[in-house]
Amino acid sequence: MKTIMKTLTLLLATAVSTAAADDAQGVILTLSSTTQPDVMTEFTLVELEALGEGQFTTTTIWTTGPQTFSGISLDVFLASQGIESGTILASAINDYTVEIPVSDATDDGPMIAYRLNGEEMSIRDKGPLWIVYPYDSKTDYQAEVIYSRSIWQLDRITIAN
């Protein structure tokens, strides 16, 4: 009986530990399309990291001094999903949504940032995801229209064709 109880206790502890790990690696981004709204792809932080990581340092109008952002380049993310055209409807946790043309997604363009200065971003710090442009790299990126596309607390992307 003691052996059975120890085994059950061990199994329960393993299940609780696994559930906690799953919660820590929960879905942080959902991708869908207006043409197939019921078909969604969900991404955890680990899955986004696996797509590749880029980094750039830039100043923003929301922070003080140069900031280093790490994440998945928007062009790499879209290419990994076979998306070549359309409009990105990027939505935040509070349902605020911005439109970003897929043509903005270039190899030297915006990224879906998941780290700021080497740290994961909390909701309080504009996370867990923030679409940022390398504002200092081109004067074109220092425009109101680009700033308006820089959505933080991103949790959903819908592709409109």
14-62 pLDDT per residue, tens: 333 333 334 457 999 999 999 988 899 999 999 999 999 999 999 999 9
pLDDT tens for each residue of 65-112: 999 999 999 999 999 999 999 999 999 999 999 999 999 999 999 999
CA-to-CA distance for 150 and 118, rounded, in angstroms? 19
pLDDT for 160 beyond 60? yes
CA-to-CA distance for 153 and 161, rounded, in angstroms? 24
CATH fold label, 26-160: Sulfite Oxidase; Chain A, domain 2 (3.90.420)
Q: Are 45 and 145 in contact (CB under 8 A)?
A: no
* Token representation of residue 56: 């750039």
> What letter represents residue 72's amino acid?
I
Specify the length of the chain in residues: 161
* pLDDT confidence of residue 22: 41
Closest CA to 116 of 51, 44, 65: 65
Report residue 12's pLDDT band, with 50, 70 and 90 as the boundaries. Answer: very low
Quick one: residue 107, left, alpha or beta (phi over 0 = left, psi -120 to 50 = alpha)? alpha
pTM of structure:
0.83
